[in-house]
Amino acid sequence: MIVPIEGFSKLSKEEKIDWIALNYTSNPKATKKILKSYWNTDANVQKLHDEFIENTITNYYLPLGIAPNFLIDEKLYAIPMAVEESSVVAAASKSAKFWLKRGGFKTTVLGTEKIGQVHFIFKGDFDKLNEFFKTIKPKLVSDALGITKNMNKRGGGIVDIELRNKTAQLKNYYQLHCTFETLDAMGANFINSCLEQLAMTLKNEAKLFSSFSSSVKNIEIVMSILSNYVPNCLVRAEVSCPVEELMNDKNDARVFAEKMVRAVTIANVEPHRAVTHNKGIMNGIDAVVLATGNDFRAVEAGVHAYAAKDGAYTSLTNASIDKGVFRFWIELPLALGTVGGLTNLHPLAKLALEILHKPSARELMQIVAVAGLAQNFAAVGSLVTTGIQEGHMKMHLLNILNQLGATEQEKRSLIEYFKKNTATHNAITEALEKLRNT
Ligand code: MEV
CA neighbor of 87 nearest in space, from 413, 396, 354, 344? 396
Structure confidence at residue 395 (pLDDT): 79
Q: Ligand 1 pocket test: pick from 84, 262, 264, 276 the residue with the most ligand atoms within 8 Å of its Cβ.
A: 276
pLDDT, one tens digit per residue, over 226-276 is 999 999 999 999 999 999 999 999 999 999 999 999 999 999 999 999 999
Q: Ligand 1 pocket test: pick from 84, 279, 392, 395 the residue with the most ligand atoms within 8 Å of its Cβ.
A: 279
Quote the CA–CA distance of 378 and 256 in Å, as a whole number.
12
pLDDT, one tens digit per residue, over 343-353 is 999 999 999 99
CA dihedral 270, 276, 280, 286 (to 10 degrees): 110
Structure confidence at residue 46 (pLDDT): 98
Q: How far is CA 119 from CA 148, 159, 191, 220, 226, in A?
A: 21, 18, 14, 9, 11
Structure confidence at residue 394 (pLDDT): 79
pLDDT, one tens digit per residue, over 159-187 is 999 999 999 999 999 999 999 999 999 99
Structure confidence at residue 389 (pLDDT): 78
Q: Other CB atoms closer than 10 Å to residue 424's CB: what's the count?
A: 13
- Residue 310: which residues within 8 A CB-CB, separation 6 or more? none
**Section 328-337 average pLDDT:** 98
**Section 410-419 average pLDDT:** 93
pLDDT, one tens digit per residue, over 350-379 is 999 999 999 999 999 999 999 999 999 999
Quote the CA–CA distance of 160 and 219 in Å, as a whole number.
21
Quote the CA–CA distance of 333 and 233 in Å, as a whole number.
5
Locate the ligand 1 atom nearest the alpha carbon of residue 88 and give its number: 2
Our answer on whether the CB atom of 315 is closer than 6 Å to any ligand 1 atom is no
Quote the CA–CA distance of 287 and 374 in Å, as a whole number.
13
295 is catalytic: yes
